[in-house]
Chains A and B, each alone.
Chain A
Amino acid sequence: MGTRQYVIRKIVQAVITLVAILVFNFFLFRVWSPGDPVTFLTRGQGAQISLEERAELISEYGLDKPVFGQFVEYMEDTATGKLGASSFYQGEAVTSIFWRFLPPTLLLVGISTAISMVVGIWMGIRSGWRRGSSFDRFSMFFSLILYSMPEFWLGMLLLLLFSTALGWFPVGGRVSTSVSSMGTLEYITDVAEHLFLPVLTLALGYLGEFYLLMRSSLLDVLGEDYITTARAKGLLERNVLNRHAVRNALLPTVTLIALSFGYVIGGAITVEVVFSYQGLGLLTYTAIVSKDYWLLQGLFLFFSVAVIGFNLVSDLVYAYLDPRVREA
């Protein structure tokens, strides 16, 4: 009973947030933006756009209608995946550009989040279990430094050291230019070589968050009565930690994965710029620099939808793992 209500409530909330994002996106790029929407959205093309093309755009996106009519048209367009045409990519549909740039970013963000999660949680457990040990103090210091570092600066340092000075890794890009003449194995090695430094940068950049959360969460749990009970029963310390403490302490990290996703995207934008890694982050940078507003609003919409989706999934997973949440 409680579970079903909880799931429905979370889904309804996510849908409301989604609609709010859509409305906000509409107002931000078409109503509040300076000048009339057509001039604004096509600014990247400069004077190249002819009067006929302009009229065509106006009728295609219903920009001559009153605001409400425009909004209806915009919602229809968005629902059918018609997000406009990029000026930078010579009129290619934003959706198709987007699908082209998505896989590299998924790879980058996925691998680096997985690494920082596993390492951060492991460090957090060790640190919290032996509080005040030299390992604890060192990792605390280390993660504070990493937290204070802009990811792109860390990326530039790694690039300087490992690519420029030592020459171990390529200086940027997603694959080498000679990609067409490669065998499968060679191709995979090449992709991995290009991926290594960006992944390292992002993983180090977000290690601290997982570490700090896991450490404080474990410290909270260690103060609970059931830990005392477990010890009183005479369980091995190892079992107290693994069976009783860690399992409960892991719960908050589930939420963090979803919440940090928004931040990792932010980090991915600057890190992809440093390494000229052709993913959605670099695409965002291109959109900013070339004032390609169709592209930028599409990306804004996409990232927001992705984060809402992740939050919903994490809420549901959390409820599955922790029955107390469903009851509340």
Chain B
Amino acid sequence: MQTPPLHVGAEPPFGPTLEDEEPSPPPGSPRQITWARRRAAVRRFWVAFRNDNMGVAGLTILVFFICVTIYAVFADKTGLSITEATGPRLTPPSLEYPFGTDDQGRSVLTLTLHGSKISLLVGLSATVITMVIGSAVGLIAGFRGGWLDQLLMRITDWGLVIPWLMLAISLASIFGQSLFMIILVIGLTTWPSTARLVRSQTLSVKERPYVERARALGASNWHLVTRHVLPNVMPVIMANTVLIVAIAILSETALSFLGLGDPLSKSWGSILERASNGGAATQGAWWWLGAPGLCIVLVVLAFTMIGFALDQIINPRLRER
């Protein structure tokens, strides 16, 4: 069974093609036709996504956490500083402190709320770096080929082989511990798998007839890449991006847990670091590590489920499953 792959605005801008279940595009300028096509593609995509239970579940969790984070940024002004720790130390959840308190009497609920900002910020920013480097390397290597491809793929393979946590630890402990460094370190250690994926997709798109036709019509390399190759590689990049966010958040958590996070900002990982050093597990303070850990699991799960769902929609071979 072959289902048509998603065309996100990559169709040649003239001549209606025979697409199933799609009305013929309204007459108008090529630009209007292109936009009508894109809207139709987005609609079709949304319908496919809506029918995927896993994707919808993931999106629901994610929307919840986005609301929580927005609330933490704008509405909740209760402090994080130790001086404002008002509660008794290490108390189980109560009405006043729904998630209990930590070893300094801070509300775990407040900590977790504020932790969402840093965890999501680092996860999303590091993903941007990963995607920019990974997509650029993959596109260039796949499209240009030759020695440049060889060189870039050697570097990529090399990046895949180095144990990432060890590399991240070394980089973070040498170049200092700021939020920016953590983002950079995660971005610099996760791009190789993306580069491989983008390259293989580029190689397949490059050989398609419409690229050959555009080239025959005299299109420049830049035009070919930005108008024909990139739009068709884009769906794969999107699905990968969502999965990378999950990995980036887990990476931030691990680095913070090892004490390599930004000492000035609280993330879910650094709450767990404090809980571990404060002996939460050996003192039976389940509430201290429960809430932040659960948040990590849910957010990572949400991104992973959305990523899997996107993969299913984009990759026709997987759809049969």
Contact = CB atoms under 8 A, between A and B. Distances in A.
Interface in B282-308: 282-284, 286, 289, 293, 296-298, 300-301, 304-305
A284 B169 contact: yes
A223 B164 CA distance: 35
Nearest to A33: B174
Nearest to B302: A148
B165 interface: yes
Interface string B163-177: 111110111011110
Given A131-B321, A274-B281, A297-B170, A153 B272 contact: yes
Nearest to A291: B173
Interface stretch (B39-47, B88-96, B249-257): B249-257
A42 interface: no
Interface stretch (B62-70, B123-131, B154-162): B154-162
A289 B289 contact: no
B169 A296 contact: yes
Say what secondary structure dominates the interface of chain B: helix
Interface stretch (A45-53, A68-76, A115-123, A159-167): A159-167
A20 B158 contact: yes
B321 A148 contact: no
B260 interface: yes
A160 B281 contact: yes
Contacts of B157: 17
Given A150-B254, A150-B257, A288-B169, A156 B162 contact: no
A307 interface: yes
Contact of A159 (B161, B165, B166, B282): B282
B92 to A, nearest CB: 13
Contact of A32 (B161, B174, B254, B305): B174
Interface in B260-287: 260, 269, 272, 275-276, 280-284, 286
B276 A266 contact: no
Contact of A265 (B161, B165, B269, B282): B165
Say what secondary structure dominates the interface of chain A: helix
A153 B174 contact: no
Contact of A307 (B161, B257, B280): B161
Interface stretch (A55-63, A84-92, A244-252, A298-306): A298-306
Nearest to B166: A303
A151 B154 CA distance: 31
B148 interface: no
B259 interface: yes
Contacts of A270: 254, 257-258
Interface in A74-109: none
A221 B318 CA distance: 13
B246 interface: yes
Contacts of A288: 169, 173, 258-260
A316 B192 CA distance: 23
Interface in B211-269: 246, 250, 253-254, 257-260, 269
Nearest to A265: B163
B287 to A, nearest CB: 11
A9 to B, nearest CB: 13
A310 to B, nearest CB: 9
B272 to A, nearest CB: 6
A297 B297 CA distance: 32
Nearest to A152: B257
Contacts of B257: 150, 152, 270, 273
A283 to B, nearest CB: 12
Given A17-B157, A150-B293, A164 B272 contact: no
Given A284-B166, A300-B167, A153 B246 contact: no
Contacts of A148: 246, 250, 296-298, 300-301, 304
B294 to A, nearest CB: 9
Nearest to A308: B161
Interface in A164-215: 164-165, 171-172
A298 B45 CA distance: 50
A164 B281 contact: yes
Given A21-B162, A148-B304, A160-B286, 9 more contacts: A144-B304, A148-B296, A153-B289, A219-B321, A273-B257, A285-B258, A288-B169, A288-B258, A303-B166
Q: 9 nearest interchain CB pairs?
A: A266-B165, A148-B300, A262-B163, A148-B301, A153-B293, A159-B281, A160-B281, A156-B281, A303-B166
12 contacts: A28-B170, A34-B174, A144-B304, A148-B250, A153-B297, A156-B281, A164-B282, A265-B163, A288-B173, A303-B163, A304-B162, A308-B161
Interface of A: 16-17, 20-21, 28-29, 32-34, 131, 144-145, 147-150, 152-153, 156-157, 159-160, 163-165, 171-172, 219, 223, 259, 262-263, 265-266, 269-270, 273-274, 284-285, 288-289, 291, 293, 296-297, 299-300, 303-304, 307-308, 311
